[in-house]
């Protein structure tokens, strides 16, 4: 049993040295990758916004809605496949910038 303690100490010391080697190797590789990344970003003129989106930190901005259904609250930007709620309907009737009908009463000019 007395032999196990020195062996355990040696193994822990060895583990400490291996962990230090791993940390040093990782730091060198990270520095190399970031240097290449910095060069590529500069070469291609990639913006910070593009980097943040590519890494998943920022979501792409949504296109503004062009069509709106006041009954259901559904919106559509006009890009991509026409949504079900607009199938068989005239887009002009749901356009956000469409002129709103004005009330007309007989006898009014």
pLDDT tens-digit series, residues 35-75: 999 999 999 999 998 999 899 898 877 788 999 999 899 99
Q: What percent of the chain has pLDDT over 70?
A: 85
Number of Cβ within 10 Å of residue 91's Cβ equals: 13
| Longest CA span, the chain | 112
Same domain, 47 and 11: yes
Return the pLDDT at 88: 93
> By residue range, what is the domain housing residue 81?
62-99
Return the pLDDT at 108: 64
Same domain, 25 and 66: no
pLDDT over threshold 90, residue 83: yes
Structural domains in the chain (count): 2
Pairing of strands 75-76, 67-68: antiparallel
Same domain, 49 and 68: no
Q: Which residues contact 58 (CB under 8 A, 6 or more apart)?
A: 49, 52
Spatial contact of 72 and 66, defined as CB atoms under 8 Å apart: no
**Least confident piece of the model among 10-24, 28-42, 88-102:** 88-102
Q: 99: which strand partners?
A: none
Same domain, 33 and 70: no
pLDDT over threshold 90, residue 29: yes
């Amino acid at each position: 049993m007395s032999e196990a303690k020195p062996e355990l100490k040696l193994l822990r010391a060895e583990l400490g040295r291996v962990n230090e080697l791993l940390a040093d190797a990782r730091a060198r590789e990270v520095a190399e990758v970031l240097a290449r990344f910095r060069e590529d970003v500069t070469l291609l003129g990639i913006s910070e916004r593009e980097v943040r989106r590519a890494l998943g930190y920022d979501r792409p901005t949504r296109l503004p809605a062009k069509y709106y259904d006041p009954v259901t609250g559904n919106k559509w930007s006009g890009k991509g496949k026409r949504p079900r709620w607009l199938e068989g309907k005239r887009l002009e009737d749901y356009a956000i910038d469409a002129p709103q009908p004005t009330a007309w009463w007989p006898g009014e000019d």
